[in-house]
Structure 1
């Protein structure tokens, strides 16, 4: 791939209401966390320019609303995506149980339809001690589907950049036709 040519990638982040999709995006793009919570209606878009293996990338990251009533509208934003982040809240078991539906809905509607479509799963809010989804359970679900899993904290920034950059690398290799082999994420200690 020509390292002087900037590559535009569309990344979409999906998951249930309240899992912290907007907070994850703001932590990655602006390195900020805001306690105020406003539900995303439809989608909002932020961009960030990074380099992966000396290739400049412009990430256009789409933050989607997680409310069920907007689900059909959100799926229209899938078109043209180069990568997908599935997010859930480790303190909310229902958000984890909904991952399968979010993933299946995405894979049904995205073009091109590929089983190996670039994806990562983020288990957010690891900074909160009231866990309802174990790391082992989430890791097993992801391993079964061959999707990289990251335990993250939008509040503290733990593993957020690594997750986004892993997906960007995966998407870059896919759009350039080189394929992708997942790296194992580094484990970072967390305190409760």
Structure 2
């Protein structure tokens, strides 16, 4: 093989690899993105200012809405919880336009120590709430220290893309005693 042929093959290989990386970054597989580790990492990046596009100032650029756009999230249990014991918070999720319970939504939650967006001290990865029927979902957790915590609650209605969780986000305050 001649020198030009080898250079052409190497150049073509580098170009193909670059295109693959670019396409992979812009078309992230939704299932791999929804794993708890990836979801946790994605949320931390977006909340701290590292958006998926690499620009913007995270929460300052309104990645998440101030109140859920498609749903209503109601807290059906006490927000005062005990330290060191398994605790559960029951949420009722309703369709905002019909006020009917959302029975087949995905509820993804993360718990932050402190006020919303103040510490980014997340207690483990994000996880799914358990659907107990009739629009009710249970979030179970154990808090290790007394204080204020934030339950970052994201709703993905059935049939909506996973990006809808950014439009259906609500922070719920918890007091651990």
Between Structure 1 and Structure 2, the one with more helix by share is 1
Tell me the TM-score normalised to structure 2 length.
Answer: 0.27
Q: Higher strand fraction: Structure 1 or Structure 2?
A: 2
Normalised to the residue count of structure 1, the TM-score between the two structures is 0.25
Give the number of the structure whose alpha-carbon radius of gyration is greater. Answer: 2
